[in-house]
Amino acid sequence: MNISRFTTLFVLCLSLSVAALGQSASAPGLPAQAALSNSAAHGSAAADQPSEPKLERFDPNLVDKDLDPCNDFYKYSCSKWMAANPIPPDQAVWDTGSGLQVWNETVLRETLETASTNDPKRDAVHQKIGDYWAACMDESGINASGLKPVQPELDRIATLKSKNDITLEIVRLHHMFPGAWQGDDNQTNAPLFGFSGGQDFDDASKVVAQIDQGGISLPSRDYYLKTDDKSVELFKKYRAHVEKMLVLSGEPAPRAAADAATIVELETALANAQMDNVKRRDPKNLNNKMTLAQVKALMPSINWDEYLAAAKAPASEHYLVSSPDFFRAEEKLLAERPLADWQAYLRWQVVHRASPYLSKSFADENWNFFAHTLAGAEQQQPRWRRCVRAADRDLGEALGQAYVDRAFPPESKARTIQMVHSIETALTSDIQGLSWMSPATKEQAVIKLKGIEDKIGYPSHWRDYSNVKITRDSYLNNVGQATSLEYERWVAKIGKPVDRSEWTMTPPTINAYYDPQLNTINFPAGILQPPFFDPTKDDAVNYGAIGMVIGHEIIHGFDDQGRKFDAHGNLRDWWTAEDGKQYDERGKCISDEYTQDVPEAGQGVKQNGLLTQGEDTADNGGIRLALYALETALKQQGKSLDDKGDDGWTYRQRFFLSNAYSWCANVRPQIARLIVTSNPHSLPVFRIDNVMSNMPEFQQAFGCKAGQRMVRANACRVW
């Protein structure tokens, strides 16, 4: 229910991508790496060795001058790159950031390998990351142990005496598996429910207990409920996958078939009861305060005293229950369905969640459904990449320190901070100049903008992992140790003052986020690299790429969701009624525009502009702020946007070309479908063509005229 998880830059943070590509689901608190985007292994020969990673850098010679920029700017800017960069077989998406992903992972791999030498003089941090790496890379040992690492869990589930025993099994799952206690990013898939500490909506200075809907295993409820042919086909394949996993876990085939039927039926009932993604975008719908007595009455089949004690949860002023209707339906199911059904569900949860850390047959079958069938990848990623990302997820702030030393010099930080300040100044001017906003709301908006805290590169102090026990003996056990501590760390925040220094992304992450309840923007060192930030390039290129990203994150504070929070992160309406109405009209223009057919994702697949409205608003406003800031920077150098640089392009043209280049991507239709149906971000092509066709500033750059495709008759503008 951490709302900040909805306001990132990339679809890549969609942790399903990580699960999909054979790695586990998302991090406890730390969104896992952007697994979707790349691989070093273009061929099987290089299967487990990193090839020389290649960083992409903007080059205006890549445009296809045979095409018309006013017809399709994405194709004009990207088609040559796309033709030269086919998707590697182990990837679902390959984009201009993919080389950077491999580069970042290679840096982390070197750190991990050095730390894994078993040198008795290693310090405690290097012992942990080194032994974590060694245990993960020990593929033959993992294969030899087969089902053994989870056998005790399966045995205990088999001997449950009554439904009263379910509570303690759920709390065990929440401790053991990444993503199990709060759901993976953008997904509501914690076993039965999610539980964590989080900021209160009405008083952001307080941390309270949050209980969120859960229960499903597919990326969103739609996967269970849609009845078109393709959805029905995917659902059948999902059921077959559940059955295969149960057979692998030792069930005889007929029983596995019956259990799989039960499991998908339970999950479908839970999916049906879940609040949908669009409703969840409005924080008011999640802000349901309850006393503990009310929680107990809502769901008496869970023994809440037992759960809270096992989670070591401090008393909470109140409990935020995201969707009471969901819990009513889940309670009914728990009461009606026999213990045996829930034992099947728990067994599935164990093998499903453990599979990335078990022997090849489990990892392969998990990959086969989530990466191949759902996302379209043709082969598994090399093990080293999976292990690097798992280490980043589980021990990211230990591993990230060496990355920062190597890849993020103080000059990069200084130049980024300067860009952030100039983009914030651009938004101040933009707000002052808005014709539709009253002075009273403008004053409030500027207060909120001035209240944004900029976090650049890495946290001010590093997390302490001294209580995480890591050995070389068991990969699964290491994952469980890290998860357990992370889960309890979040739960322990309940009742304590908010820690404003916390980051929810690790330093090497290629992503960025705005946190509406802390009112912070966060740019990990991992994205402050080429092609997004390139110290060797001029301002036009950098404002076009990372400048737009900075603007995007700042605008999240003022999108249809972010605008509901004030400078202190409280859910409070600071808008006059008339200005709120004006905002909604402009927002509706965006959501109508992006409610569009997406043939590249399959026949009949349609984007829901209400789901992507916040991201689309941030894209549209962010690029404009970056352009204004560039204009100011050029003015200080005695230049203007329409002056030509050495290469014959104007700065304005270079700005838009660099922006488009940073989004060039080849995307498999399977993952396109997954993104369109369940992710709040638009596909890359729309992040260029829709945005720029709304902008007179773009049309001026390339001399586009009314009637051309890149000149939208009903152009939208919020910021």
Could you list the residues that contact Zn ion (CB under 5 A)? 9, 615, 618
For the CB of residue 526, give the shortest distance to Zn ion in the complex, in Å: 16
For the CB of residue 8, give the shortest distance to Zn ion in the complex, in Å: 5
For the CB of residue 169, give the shortest distance to Zn ion in the complex, in Å: 36
For the CB of residue 712, give the shortest distance to Zn ion in the complex, in Å: 22
Q: Which is nearer to Zn ion, 87 or 549 (CB)?
A: 549
Q: How far is Cα 180 from Cα 183, in angstroms, rounded to an integer?
A: 6
For the CB of residue 420, give the shortest distance to Zn ion in the complex, in Å: 16
For the CB of residue 10, give the shortest distance to Zn ion in the complex, in Å: 8
What DSSP line would sit under 252-283, residue for residue? -HHHHHHHHHHHHHHHHHHHHHSPPHHHHTSH
For the CB of residue 235, give the shortest distance to Zn ion in the complex, in Å: 30
Q: Which is nearer to Zn ion, 313 or 512 (CB)?
A: 512
Q: How far is Cα 379 from Cα 284, in angstroms, rounded to an integer?
A: 43
Structure tokens at 104: 């970042």
For the CB of residue 9, give the shortest distance to Zn ion in the complex, in Å: 5
Torsion angle of C-alpha atoms 225, 228, 232, 235, degrees rounded to 10: -50
Q: How far is Cα 579 from Cα 587, in angstroms, rounded to an integer?
A: 12
Q: Which is nearer to Zn ion, 9 or 320 (CB)?
A: 9
Structure tokens at 248: 């692998």
Q: Which is nearer to Zn ion, 382 or 551 (CB)?
A: 551
What DSSP line would sit under 214-241, residue for residue? ----SSSTHHHH--SHHHHHHHHHHHHH
Q: How far is Cα 488 from Cα 197, in angstroms, rounded to an integer?
A: 9
For the CB of residue 549, give the shortest distance to Zn ion in the complex, in Å: 9
For the CB of residue 556, give the shortest distance to Zn ion in the complex, in Å: 6
DSSP state of 381: P
Would you say the C-alpha torsion 274, 485, 386, 659 has a positive or negative sign? positive
Beta carbons within 8 Å of 684's beta carbon, 6+ residues apart: 74, 95, 663, 664, 665, 667
Would you say the C-alpha torsion 416, 418, 420, 423 has a positive or negative sign? negative
R_g of the chain, CA atoms, integer Å = 25
Structure tokens at 657: 């070309």
The strand ranges marked E within 526-642 are none
Q: Which is nearer to Zn ion, 4 or 670 (CB)?
A: 4
Q: How far is Cα 120 from Cα 127, in angstroms, rounded to an integer?
A: 9
Q: Which is nearer to Zn ion, 85 or 612 (CB)?
A: 612
Beta carbons within 8 Å of 148's beta carbon, 6+ residues apart: none
How far lies 15's CA from each of 35, 195, 482, 483, in Å? 8, 18, 18, 16
For the CB of residue 615, give the shortest distance to Zn ion in the complex, in Å: 5
**Closest of 301, 291, 297, 292 to residue 331, by C-alpha:** 301
Q: Which is nearer to Zn ion, 185 or 615 (CB)?
A: 615
Cis, peptide link before residue 531, omega less than 30° from 0: yes
Q: Which is nearer to Zn ion, 399 or 618 (CB)?
A: 618
Q: Which is nearer to Zn ion, 494 or 521 (CB)?
A: 521
For the CB of residue 618, give the shortest distance to Zn ion in the complex, in Å: 5
Q: Which is nearer to Zn ion, 134 or 676 (CB)?
A: 676
Q: Which is nearer to Zn ion, 50 or 526 (CB)?
A: 526
Q: How far is Cα 557 from Cα 454, in angstroms, rounded to an integer?
A: 13
Structure tokens at 380: 């598994």
Q: Which is nearer to Zn ion, 352 or 556 (CB)?
A: 556
For the CB of residue 552, give the shortest distance to Zn ion in the complex, in Å: 6
What DSSP line would sit under 671-704, residue for residue? HHHHHHHH-SSPPHHHHHHHHHHT-HHHHHHHT-
Q: Which is nearer to Zn ion, 34 or 618 (CB)?
A: 618
Structure tokens at 255: 């029983």
